[in-house]
Amino acid sequence: DADVTQTPRNRITKTGKRIMLECSQTKGHDRMYWYRQDPGLGLRLIYYSFDVKDINKGEISDGYSVSRQAQAKFSLSLESAIPNQTALYFCATGPGANTGELFFGEGSRLTVL
């Protein structure tokens, strides 16, 4: 099994629908991230969390919300999806120690019609 698991892997939805992308990790890492990838652009940070009580906005948080239900689980929600949120979304984790290690999930491809 993957260390960082994302569900669903693919989702097609309609404008205005609420969507949740889930991420779970078995690495015991404190830091968790949600990134968005668009063609021709680098990964962009949506939200990050250092522990269950710590949630922080990234550079493109508008239109998104997150929940850190447990150390191992970090969910991303689109309250009312719009077509320009069509993208590939990645969850990533990193140890809390003084290291820049980063581990990614396999991605969730979201299409908003």
Distance (Å) of CA 95 to CA 23, 31, 49: 16, 6, 12
Binding mask 22-61 for another protein (x = CB under 8 A): ---------x--------xxxxxx--x-------x-x---
The CA angle 22-25-26, to the nearest 5 degrees, is: 150
Beta bridge partners, 65, equal 77
Binding mask 64-103 for another protein (x = CB under 8 A): ------------------------x-x---x----xxxxx
User: In angstroms, how far apart are the furthest CA atoms of the chain?
Assistant: 42
The encoded tokens of residue 5 equal 């698991």
The distance of closest approach from Cβ of residue 16 to another protein in the complex, given in angstroms and rounded to an integer, is: 26
Chain contacts with another protein (rule: CB under 8 A): 31, 40-45, 48, 56, 58, 88, 90, 94, 99-107, 109
